[in-house]
Amino acid sequence: MPSEPQPLHHAKRTSSGEFENDYGNLPRESVWKWRWERWTQGLPKPPANGYDFPMAHPDVAWLKANRRVDTLTWIGHASALLQINGVNILCDPIFSERASPLSFAGPKRKTPPGLTLDQLPHIDVVLISHNHYDHLDKPTIEALNTQAGGPPRFLVPLGVKAWMNETGVTNVEELDWSDETHASGLDIWFVPSQHWSARTPFDRAETLWGGWVVKTPAGAAHPYSFYFAGDTGYSPDFRDIGARFGGFDLALIPIGAYAPRWFMHAQHVDP
């Protein structure tokens, strides 16, 4: 019998091991030109008054006790705590000082996280969008895996489970685009985004990337749904996700690393 046709994003894996985006691969813009612009023009420019601005401080005790009210707490960058239907979910958590394989070099946090690891409630589910260092942080994963009361359920893109196992995480499930799973009474899907993955100069696109859709089950007394895009450029994937799932009560769409547009447009949306 003929074999099943591969999904489009698996097309190149038999030859080079790389995944593809559903709507074409990203243009290979010059990283060196981008870095030269950053260095010579002092980019990105800091805010007019610098980074010393007042920060909101959540009610930590209330968050830890809450299992009734749906909440969102932005921790920083793409990290967020969502409390949905009594379930505590973390998206792309990073609590380290740097997004880097090195503790003394690499992109450094400008402001402290809105919550510390110790201030988190017990986390039930962790959603990872892709394996870039500013979205998948080893010290954070290790800390969450040893939280009091047992580890959370880690949901990761295809190919990332091996890295998680090497880090000591066993309560992990990896998903392909359009795969559905269930955790803590919620229905969860991994959905496409337009991006890429890598943790070294030699493993580009060897693991998958994407976003997450989370819904309370059909018939829930208080139905709720949210969409976490992960890192992504604008593509028809947004249209496809909207057509499949309908509207969302909450959408988390990162708009941070969007300039210069000649370099970032395909991989990061802007405001």
Count how many Cα atoms sit within 13 Å of the Cα of residue 210 in the half-sphere of its side chain.
Answer: 29
pLDDT given for residue 141 in this prediction: 98
Report whether pLDDT(34) > 80. yes
What percent of the chain has pLDDT above 70?
94
pLDDT given for residue 240 in this prediction: 97
Quick one: average pLDDT of 18-41? 89
The predicted model scores a pTM of 0.94
pLDDT given for residue 7 in this prediction: 67
d(CA 263, CA 266): 8
Would you call 250 helix, strand, or coil by DSSP? strand
CATH of segment(s) 18-23+57-264: 3.60.15.10
Show Cβ contacts of residue 219 under 8 Å, excluding neighbours closer than 6 positions.
Answer: none
Q: In the 8-state DSSP scheme, what is residue 119? A: G
The average confidence (pLDDT) of the chain is 92
Would you call 144 helix, strand, or coil by DSSP? helix
Of residues 233 and 259, more confidently modeled = 233
Q: Domain residues of the chain, as ranges?
A: 18-23+57-264
Mind listing the pLDDT tens digit for each residue in 84-133?
999 999 999 999 999 999 989 989 999 999 999 999 999 999 999 999 99
Would you call 161 helix, strand, or coil by DSSP? helix
pLDDT given for residue 5 in this prediction: 55
Confidence of residue 250 (pLDDT cuts 50, 70, 90): very high
Quick one: average pLDDT of 176-189? 97
Quick one: average pLDDT of 18-42? 89
